Amino acid sequence: MIAAIAPTSLAQLVLRLGLAVPFWRSGMSKWDGFLQLNDVAVLLFTSEFQLHLPGGPYAFPAPAATAFAVACAEVLLPTFLVLGLATRLVALGLLAMTIVIQLTVPDGWPIHLTWAAMALGIVTWGAGKLSVDGWLATGSGRT
């Protein structure tokens, strides 16, 4: 009965959407136009964000390039995740980003733990039937 109300494929879709939204929103806030970062995004990586590692904190290397790479990843990876394209690899990328975010904002661990759990669930169980990956697997005869 529970499977009829909440099929696995629906749960996998909701999991993908739940993980994609915070990264998408963060990524969209960093842009002023097509491939044009806003000043705040660069400022954050230049003066605010630091990696809290033993012996640190340490500044991010090449802050402008790092800000650009992060902003691109925060838009592209959630897009792929929602579509369910290369889902496990994309979720692994978002998990890596979550780890770096945790090292940057250590007090945010409750939400970061939630993101990590969602990413691990997606890496483990994949995108499901309601995805490009699922469609490609069906078309190629894989299940």
Q: Transcribe 24-52 into DSSP letters.
A: HHHHHTTEEETTEE-HHHHHIIIII-EE-
Please report, in angstroms and rounded to a whole number, the separation of the first and last CA atoms in the chain: 23
Contacts of 72 (CB under 8 A, 6+ apart): 27
Across the range 105-119, mean pLDDT stands at 97
CB count within 10 Å of CB 86 equals: 16
Instruction: Render pLDDT for 29-50 as a digit per residue (tens, 0 to 9).
Output: 999 989 899 999 999 999 999 9
Q: What is the pLDDT of residue 105?
A: 96
Across the range 77-95, mean pLDDT stands at 98
Q: Report pTM.
A: 0.90
Residue given tokens 């369910």 in the structure block: 84
Domain boundaries, the chain: 2-139
